[in-house]
Amino acid sequence: MASNVRGRFTVPVAEMNIASLLIYVEPQWTTHARVQLEQLPGVEVHAATAEGRLVVTVEKGDDLEMSRAIEQLGAVRGVRATTLVYHHSEPLEDESPAEGER
């Protein structure tokens, strides 16, 4: 989680991370891998081919969570490789009112 300095205190800032990956799976494990991947929180499989290519997106809170999620993708049985295609991270807007707005 990122942090933002306000005054003399460091305040944690919530983040949003979105990644898109191409996952290569041994063809005979495609169905199994898809089912396993779809059970992981924040993971969505958008497409799969008979040759074992899957298009996946992952949504997580911070960089560490994203890193761990990508490691989990690679640990699924039958997965040969994961390729990061796109990654975007940004702080979420603070929903609490600013000091001058109270």
Helix ranges (DSSP H) in the chain = 30-38, 63-75
pLDDT at 15: 87
pLDDT at 92: 82
Which token pair is 85? 């295609």
Please give the helix or strand (H or E) that residue 16 lies within, else none.
strand 15-25
pLDDT at 71: 96
N- to C-terminal Cα separation, the chain? 26
DSSP 94: P
Please give the helix or strand (H or E) that residue 46 lies within, else none.
strand 43-48
pLDDT beyond 70 at 38:
yes
- Name the fold adopted by 21-91: Alpha-Beta Plaits (3.30.70)
**Greatest Cα-to-Cα distance within the chain, rounded to the nearest angstrom:** 60
pLDDT at 26: 98
pLDDT at 88: 94
pLDDT at 14: 84
Q: Where are the domains of the chain?
A: 21-91
Q: How far is CA 97 from CA 13, 93, 101, in A?
A: 15, 11, 6
pLDDT at 74: 96
Helix ranges (DSSP H) in 12-62 = 30-38
Q: Supply the pTM of this predicted model.
A: 0.76
Looking at the chain, the whole-number percentage of residues with pLDDT higher than 70 is: 78
Residue-averaged pLDDT of the chain: 87
